[in-house]
Amino acid sequence: MNTVNSKDFLLAVEGLTVSFDGFKAVDDLSFYLDPREIRVIIGPNGAGKTTVLDLICGKTRATSGSIRFAGKELTRLKEHQIVHAGVGRKFQTPSVFEDLTVFENLEVSYPRGHSVMGALAFRRDAAVVEAVESVAETIFLKDQLDRPAALLSHGQKQWLEIGMLLIQKPDLLMLDEPVAGMSVTERKKTAELLKVITENHTVLVIEHDMQFVGDIADRVTVMHQGKVLSEGSIEHVKSDPKVIEVYLGH
């Protein structure tokens, strides 16, 4: 993995465009992430937020533009190569393995090489147990390790899925509406969790809950019709008349 100079951006998105049958869901978009910042993308429904995450993780191919991550051009890579380069993505709906315990969910996510031999040779060794326990503590599930995931609350499942990403040690974590459906207490704990995560990772979040955005964001990028409408601190974007007109005023 490339080392990032502290002056460099971890992620540089430039002129990114994707057309679906002539409709530009993302239109000449540029934004830059510093290492270990939490950036939140907000904007009205259909603004192109989820499509941006799809483009970064390789699920959707860009029509034009560039996505440079830690020195690599991601637009040319396949999804698994992007994961390997250090980009982790969590979708909106939790996709944990319901029949497995919390421990087992984290264990199966532990990176152990990509070869079949690597997978077969896998044993539950001390390094895995240590990694699972450390991540479980971070995601508030240390005392739930033996519970089947099916018995967790919705919020705990969301944390477990974040843990399943963390155990792979990505440099960039992308989270799509991580607090949707969570209680107020769970939202507060998720904000704490994200602050801890950014001690070692950069985080890109899509979120609608402005209270939560204010709690976590270093900077906010507001999207509208596939473009950046406004960008800056939460105070800056909240008082921007353009943002009030198309998003916050509704």
Ligand X SMILES: Nc1ncnc2c1ncn2[C@@H]1O[C@H](COP(=O)(O)OP(=O)(O)OP(=O)(O)O)[C@@H](O)[C@H]1O
When binding is defined by CB under 6 A, the residue of 15, 46, 113, 118 that contacts ligand X is 46
What are the tokens at 5?
């100079």
Contact between 43 and ligand X (CB under 6 A)? yes
Give Cβ neighbours of residue 42 (< 8 Å, ≥ 6 apart): 49, 206, 207, 208, 210, 213, 220, 221, 222, 223, 237, 247
When binding is defined by CB under 6 A, the residue of 10, 29, 48, 158 that contacts ligand X is 48
Given a contact cutoff of 8 angstroms between Cβ atoms, the answer to whether 69 and 87 are in contact is yes
- Which CB sits closer to ligand X, 125 or 249? 249
Q: Which helix (H) or strand (E) holds 182?
A: none
Tell me the closest approach of the beta carbon of residue 3 to ligand X, in angstroms: 32
Give Cβ neighbours of residue 15 (< 8 Å, ≥ 6 apart): 28, 29, 30, 64, 65, 66
Site map for ligand X, 12-31, x if CB under 6 A? --------x----x------
Tell me the closest approach of the beta carbon of residue 183 to ligand X, in angstroms: 22
When binding is defined by CB under 6 A, the residue of 51, 75, 109, 202 that contacts ligand X is 51
Q: Which helix (H) or strand (E) holds 119?
A: helix 116-120
Tell me the closest approach of the beta carbon of residue 114 to ligand X, in angstroms: 28
Contact between 250 and ligand X (CB under 6 A)? no
Binding site for ligand X (CB under 6 A): 20, 25, 43, 45-51
